[in-house]
Amino acid sequence: MKPLWVVDTGMIGYQEALEWQEQFQQKRIKDQVPDILMIVEHPPTITVGRSGSQRHILRSADFLKEQGISIYEISRGGDVTYHGPGQVVCYPILKLEDEEKDLHAYLHRLEEIMIQTLKSYDLVGGRKQAYSGAWVEDVKVGAVGVAVRQYVTMHGFALNVNPQLEHFDLIVPCGIQEFKVTSLVKLGRVVTFIEVKEELKRQCANVFNRELIEKEFSILKGK
């Protein structure tokens, strides 16, 4: 079983997390590190993916700045999304080998991690035709968006535990106008952020058949 370093950064700015992803991805390409799972929480942030449109940001840049919300245009696939406190964001830095190189299957696995996590809280999660992410009936609880270089992944998925859902009203989330975004707490589950992080770790290990090895972010930063 391949090792998977788990690096929990805690709250971290989007730009810093992106730089760490890029560093880890480059090191993984060179086989200087094993696969890595970064688990983070971001301050309020809007990101625009490769197929995204600024038209899907519904308020002005000045208004968002006043609200303390940053905007980044980034390399992942997908449209516009929101990250913020109360949302667990996972960035797998994985070297895809052999049958894992099917990128559609990789996205499917990221969704499966969230769906199985929802199941552990007695929620029937699933997929919605034509849309990515994890859904409970007609509301979206988790989003996915990735980038791959030399078959090493970055970016990943985000599961809403108890974020400020009204911030999603500032955008057209993932370019989807007809369906709303929800969270575990909004769906009636009494959960803590830490509990959900631990469950996501377990599901990552199960879905990707990896052995979890916890690594202190502070130690890695010092290297």
Domains of the chain: 2-222 (3.30.930.10)
User: Which pLDDT score, from 0 to 100, does residue 222 have?
Assistant: 66
Q: What does the mean pLDDT of the chain come to?
A: 94
Q: What is the pTM of this model?
A: 0.95
User: Which pLDDT score, from 0 to 100, does residue 130 have?
Assistant: 87
Residue 207 has pLDDT above 80, yes or no: yes
Q: What is the mean pLDDT of residues 186-199?
A: 96
Q: Which tens digits make up the pLDDT trace of 65-120?
A: 999 999 988 888 788 999 999 999 999 999 999 888 999 999 999 999 999 999 99
Task: Point out which residues pair with 142 in neighbouring strands.
Answer: 134, 159
Could you give the CA distance from residue 10 to residue 88 in angstroms, rounded to a whole number? 10
| Cβ within 8 Å of residue 98, ≥6 positions away | none
Could you give the CA distance from residue 104 to residue 221 in angstroms, rounded to a whole number? 33
Q: Which residues are catalytic?
A: 174
Could you give the CA distance from residue 133 to residue 160 in angstroms, rounded to a whole number? 11
Q: What is the mean pLDDT of residues 32-45?
A: 97
User: Which pLDDT score, from 0 to 100, does residue 204 have?
Assistant: 97
Give the SS3 label for residue 7. Answer: strand
Q: Residue 144 burial (CB < 10 Å; 0-12/13-18/19+)?
A: buried
Q: What is the mean pLDDT of residues 149-166?
A: 97
User: Which pLDDT score, from 0 to 100, does residue 4 have?
Assistant: 97
Least confident of 6-15, 52-61, 209-218: 52-61
User: First-to-last CA distance in the chain?
Assistant: 26
Least confident of 23-32, 71-80, 174-183: 71-80
Task: Point out which residues pair with 36 in neighbouring strands.
Answer: 5, 93
At 50, is the pLDDT very low, low, confident or very high (cuts 50, 70, 90)?
confident
At 223, is the pLDDT very low, low, confident or very high (cuts 50, 70, 90)?
low
User: Which pLDDT score, from 0 to 100, does residue 200 have?
Assistant: 98
